[in-house]
Amino acid sequence: MKNKIVSNSNQAKDKFGQLTGKNYKPSLTVRSFSSEGNAIRAFGYTSGREHHLLSNLEYYYFLLLDWNESVVDMREQYPLSIEETIRIAESKGIPHPKQKNKNPVVMTSDFNITVIRDGRKQSIVRTVKPSIKLEDKRTIEKFEIERAYWQEHGISWGIVTEKELHLPLIKNIEWVRSATELDVLDTDADNEVDIMLEVLKERLMRHNSSILRITSSLDDDFKVSKGVFLTLFRHLIARRIIKIDMLNEINLNHSYFGNLEFITGTGGSNNASQISS
């Protein structure tokens, strides 16, 4: 099954683009359908809802945003006022995007992001596209409409390409995030999880051994399924209880003895600073 991209036509009636957080409805959604395409549904821990990403690049950027603690909300496939985009297009002599029936189509921005900067909420908008698309005249025309739209609204707008995305960081985020919640554990020892986490932290702090050797040894000690303590290691990173270098690929055959920071409370900062690219 492939994914088909579907536009929500009744924008105002169905409140697409009008709400925030877990109540937000994107203007374009993904439906499982036998069709060409590469679109992804992914749960956002920041927003508490499922996100609709229409390309691999959008998904990679979404991972960076969801990991970044300065991001408090992100609304993908954000609809622009069609009256405003038509006016801007006409003023610039640019043909407005149209549907197959020749009616104007509602334009969207890939991400409308709410961040905390200097203690205050601020909106920024980013469009995500492969760099090769920037060589296409029609793409640039549509970007100009979008740029002018957000300039009129006093909101920072920019383009993110694959050149701005740090793949080792993205790969690490993808690896740890599925262990954010411990319902993924293959173990019947749920009542012992807190003890297991504490033992794992103690072992990581005191033993100069590889991550795999430490976690495999603890699997044997606690007589749990292979991989349980590796999942707990991922969980500690995902919950910011352990701070590790995320900019370089995490090597499980490597010892991080002396190179892990153990955070008390709700965790520390992160390295996903590319929201302003």
Residue 263's CATH number: 1.10.10.10
CB 66 within 8 A of CB 74: yes
The pLDDT tens digits of the residues spanning 127-136 come to 999 999 999 9
Q: Are residues 131 and 65 in the same domain?
A: yes
Token couple for 200: 């794992």
What is the reported pLDDT for 16? 59
Q: For residue 144, is pLDDT > 50?
A: yes
Backbone angles phi, psi at 198, to 5 degrees: -65, -40
What is the reported pLDDT for 239? 94
Query: Higher model confidence: residue 4 or residue 88?
Result: 88
pLDDT band at 274; cut points 50, 70, 90: low
Q: Are residues 184 and 62 in the same domain?
A: no
CA gyration radius for the chain? 22
220-229 mean pLDDT:
93
4-25 mean pLDDT:
63
Sheet strands (E) in the chain: 2-7, 28-33, 40-44, 49-53, 71-79, 108-117, 120-128, 156-160, 242-243, 261-262
Mean of all residue pLDDT scores within the chain: 87
Q: Are residues 53 and 65 in the same domain?
A: yes
Q: Kindly report which listed range (6-15, 68-77, 93-102, 107-116) carries the lowest average pLDDT score.
A: 6-15
Token couple for 263: 């955070």
137-164 mean pLDDT:
97
Q: Are residues 95 and 184 in the same domain?
A: no
Q: Are residues 59 and 73 in the same domain?
A: yes
Q: Are residues 128 and 181 in the same domain?
A: no
pLDDT band at 273; cut points 50, 70, 90: very low
What is the reported pLDDT for 152? 97
Backbone angles phi, psi at 218, to 5 degrees: -70, -35
CB 199 within 8 A of CB 218: yes
DSSP-derived secondary structure for 69-117: TTEEEEEEEEEPPHHHHHHHHHHHT-PPPB-TTSPBPPPEEEEEEEEEE
Q: For residue 267, is pLDDT > 70?
A: no
For the chain, the domain total comes to 2
SS3 32: strand
Nearest-angstrom CA–CA distance, 93 and 88: 9
CATH number at residue 138: 3.40.1350.10
User: Which of 145, 165, 185 delimits the end of a domain?
Assistant: 165
Sheet strands (E) in 118-204: 120-128, 156-160
Query: Higher model confidence: residue 228 or residue 10?
Result: 228
Could you give the percent of the chain with pLDDT greater than 90?
Answer: 72
Domain assignment of residue 184, given as a range = 168-276
What is the reported pLDDT for 213? 97
Q: For residue 7, is pLDDT > 80?
A: no
The pLDDT tens digits of the residues spanning 165-182 come to 999 999 999 999 999 988
Q: For residue 17, is pLDDT > 80?
A: no
Q: Are residues 224 and 98 in the same domain?
A: no
What is the reported pLDDT for 4? 44
Q: Are residues 149 and 231 in the same domain?
A: no
User: Which of 133, 150, 165 delimits the end of a domain?
Assistant: 165
Buried residues in 5-29 as b, exposed as e (16+ CB within 10 A):
beebeebeeeebbeeeeeebbbbbb
Nearest-angstrom CA–CA distance, 41 and 68: 19
Specify the residue for token string 């793409």: 139
User: Which of 165, 182, 208 delimits the end of a domain?
Assistant: 165
Percent helix / strand / coil, the chain, rounded to 5: 40, 20, 40
264-270 mean pLDDT:
48
Q: Are residues 82 and 209 in the same domain?
A: no
Q: For residue 262, is pLDDT > 80?
A: yes
Q: Are residues 108 and 186 in the same domain?
A: no
What is the reported pLDDT for 182? 85
88-106 mean pLDDT:
94
Q: Are residues 83 and 216 in the same domain?
A: no
Q: For residue 58, is pLDDT > 80?
A: yes
Q: Are residues 77 and 121 in the same domain?
A: yes
The pLDDT tens digits of the residues spanning 251-261 come to 999 999 888 99
Q: For residue 83, is pLDDT > 90?
A: yes
